[in-house]
Amino acid sequence: MLRRLFSVRGLLTVLAALLAVMVATRPAWAAGVDPYVFRYLKAREPVPVEMDAQGQTRLFSASDLSAGKRLFEESCINCHVGGATLPDPSVSLSLNTLKGATPPRDNINALVAYLRQPMTYDGSDTTFWCRQVPESWLSLQEVENLAAFVLRAAQTAPGWGTQKFD
């Protein structure tokens, strides 16, 4: 039995099975979808994310959220590891903290406005902790994808914006 398992035929069977799994999941890789988006953001199908304070939503695909994650990793992760805020740990990217800001930053339009003109948590002054993201740097679609990634992570990713990472 053991001899048959390690035979050429047995190894070819294992390789064929591995290849079948890789081919079956290849469309996700080909579309540039980050595995984190599937696993933690639960976005195999387009997911609704709130656009404004009135509760209007827009669907964001796994590709949109992956693009947002990539932008987050390129521009934000130095200060916001796992949704925490290293320069000021009391102000994370958790959903409750985003809702508690003045004005609230718990929807796409509000977070885009913040990224275009970063303000302190209480909204009283310009902040220098976050970089201003002008249209010349990121288009509206790109900054919306970034905001959608942050909001979806705040809604679904275990430990996002908390001190405890699961």
CA-wise closest residue to 49 among 159, 146, 130, 116? 146
What is the rounded end-to-end Cα distance, in angstroms, of the chain?
41
pTM, two decimal places: 0.80
Question: What CA–CA distance (Å, rounded) separates 134 from 90?
Answer: 26
- By 3-state DSSP, what share of the chain in percent is helix, strand and coil, each rounded to 5? 50, 5, 45
User: What is residue 58's predicted lDDT score, i.e. its pLDDT?
Assistant: 98
User: What is residue 30's predicted lDDT score, i.e. its pLDDT?
Assistant: 46
The stretches of 31-138 forming alpha helices (DSSP H) are 35-39, 62-75, 95-100, 108-116
Question: What CA–CA distance (Å, rounded) separates 71 from 149?
Answer: 9
Question: What CA–CA distance (Å, rounded) separates 152 from 122?
Answer: 23
Q: What is the pLDDT along the chain (166 residues), one digit of tens a residue?
A: 555 555 666 655 655 555 555 545 545 444 579 999 999 999 999 999 999 999 999 999 999 999 999 999 999 999 999 999 888 888 999 999 999 999 999 999 999 999 999 999 999 999 888 889 999 999 999 999 999 999 999 999 999 998 654 4
